[in-house]
Chain A
Amino acid sequence: MTGYTVRRYGQHHIWIGVLALLSVLVLAALPAFAGKAALRIATEMAGYMALAVMWNLLAGYAGVMSIGQQAFVGVGAYALFVLCGTMGLPLIPAIIAAGLLTTLLSIPVGLILFRLNGAYFAIGTWVVAEIFLLLTAQSQTLGAGAGLSFPAGVAKSFGTATERAALFWWIALSIVLLSVGVAYLWLRSSRGLALTAMRDDAEAAAGLGVDTKRNRLAVYLLAAGVAGMVGAVLFLGKLRISPAAAYDINEWTASIIFIVVIGGLGRLEGAILGTLIFFVLRGFLADFGAWYLMAMGAIAIVVMLRMPQGIWGFLHERTGIELFPMRRDICPPKGRAMS
């Protein structure tokens, strides 16, 4: 016994916890005071946030540079249209099934892709997404290139347009809470510490016993499952799906990278803050057509140059603030001081 102890929570974390709980309650009650249009945007935001949290785990921690997560968004979305729209499975089980399906699918895909290194891996993930797109576009059952509409009868069975918007919002909210919750508990644990070690130096981590391969695969599976469910709920909201939209690299990867990079790669809070910033910017800039993308690109470059750790990383470095307590505070034995 050395007499030193470790504390995982401080006093102020109680307040953060209370605040988090209140925010969740307010978010869950959103349909009571927000209209259809606002709920749709909120739903989309939740979906993007879940994708961003996952991409941050992939690229920011596990060192898995995937630019092909649209593969799982697309498959998940199509799975929902078939399972719920065509085959009549109830909505919630269908969304869970879509997530399970993409998780399962990611096992062989991951095992093959992880044989590739660095840039080849990234390109590989994109090629896989393109293959899925081509396969989908070939399938008559999936509506080929034109895609599918969600059967109006089934959609009506979920209620009026307003009730549907609320339902889809709750589903999206559950997905993002689940993603953030799992990511947080993971990163906080000793396994998460191992993942953080991989972020900083994968080779040194392996030398200390961190199973880098297994961790990479685990993160990849989780991210695929979440992407599948996000695809399902977001396309459900649109009630239409086509291969080009479902496997769109701009929408499902480029925007997500933007979010994570400006928010702060390798920080859980970064993905959340990044999503908020992204939607605010998009709201302001969307009317400017092509200028919108250029402005977003310029902003990303400025942030990367001035704050390489992203906006959250910048704030964290100055203030030590963390929304999700992960630190390990060391308390020396009585009569012993620490620097």
Chain B
Amino acid sequence: MLDLSDVSFRYGTLTVTDGVSLSVGQGEALGIIGPNGAGKSTLLDLMMGTKLPAEGRITFDGRDITRMPAQKRAGLGIARAFQVPRPFHGMTVFENVLVGATGGGRRNERASYDLCFGVLEQTGLIGHAREPASTLRLLDRKRLELARALATKPRLLLLDEVAGGLTDMECKSLIETIRGVSASGVAIVWIEHIVHALLAVVNRLCVIDQGAQIADGDPQEVIQADKVREIYMGTPA
């Protein structure tokens, strides 16, 4: 469904994404791991269109979207949750979700209400629906990132460290939510440092180091690979 071929991105001379080729299939759940600063979030930016690549080609359903801006990709069914939550702080939680549900204000508002409430229930935020988004705790901000993205009814959901900083209980309920989304047929790309959370959901794992992809395949095999243990865990095999 989403295909990146030889995609690179640079800040000046610093290559942050280095010739990455990656594809995500229909309904697949792909996990991405890698050390801090490896370029994982940048990869999501490139998939969403928040950043445009210096080189390479990106297609979605076979259609070239390499230079397509984020708002158009959202229309095609791509949505993302930011690593550091970025709620619309001047709005209520409900209105935050409504922005996604109306497709950025293009769809009828009333017809989108039930979708919003459904997503708020699904993500456990319904009790906070009336509150200003600026007053939410970290966990709820992360949930709001997820809820807002889900409200766009994505076919491909990009998640960036949505489990970071949560307690075990919170993490468990989040895993359940994401598993449910995945089971409903939505393709997922999930960046996460909490590997056990990731492994509970994904059916493929990809490792990024210094902007390049160094492993891609069955999660268990990838995790066991020497190269990965060395770079990611910092322990030579």
Which A residues have a C-beta under 8 Å from some C-beta of B? 1-2, 4-6, 189-197, 199-201, 203-213, 266, 327-330, 338-339
Contact = CB atoms under 8 A, between A and B. Distances in A.
B173 to A, nearest CB: 18
Contact of A328 (B70, B79, B94): B94
| Most chain B beta carbons < 10 A, residue from A2, A195, A266, A329 | A2
Interface residues of B, number: 48
A2 to B, nearest CB: 4
Interface string B123-134: 000111111000
Contacts of B86: 201, 203-204
A168 B121 CA distance: 55
Contacts of B211: none
A192 B99 CA distance: 10
A2 B80 contact: no
A205 B102 contact: no
B99 A208 contact: yes
B114 to A, nearest CB: 6
Interface string B45-67: 00010100000000000000000
Interface string B83-100: 000111111101110111
A192 B110 CA distance: 14
Interface of B: 48, 50, 69-71, 74-75, 79-80, 82, 86-92, 94-96, 98-100, 102-110, 112-114, 117-118, 121, 126-131, 148-149, 151-152
Given A204-B82, A210-B105, 5 more contacts: A194-B99, A205-B104, A208-B79, A210-B71, A211-B106
Contacts of B100: 208-209
B74 A206 contact: yes
Give the interface centre of A4, A192, A266 by most chain B CB atoms within 10 Å.
A4
Given A206-B50, A209-B103, A2 B118 contact: yes
Nearest to B86: A204
Contact of B98 (A328, A329, A338): A328
A129 B141 CA distance: 43
Contact of B104 (A5, A200, A211): A211
B113 A196 contact: no
B109 A190 contact: yes
B129 A210 contact: no
B114 A2 contact: yes
Given A189-B105, A190-B107, A4 B80 contact: no
A51 B33 CA distance: 51
Nearest to A215: B105
A131 B159 CA distance: 48
B104 to A, nearest CB: 3
Given A190-B105, A194-B99, A209 B117 contact: no
A190 B114 contact: no
B231 to A, nearest CB: 30
Nearest to A339: B127
A213 B72 CA distance: 11
B88 A339 contact: no
A206 B121 CA distance: 24
26 contacts: A4-B117, A5-B113, A190-B105, A190-B109, A193-B91, A193-B98, A193-B99, A194-B99, A196-B88, A196-B90, A200-B90, A201-B86, A203-B86, A206-B74, A207-B74, A208-B99, A208-B100, A208-B148, A209-B71, A209-B104, A209-B106, A213-B69, A266-B90, A327-B92, A328-B94, A330-B130
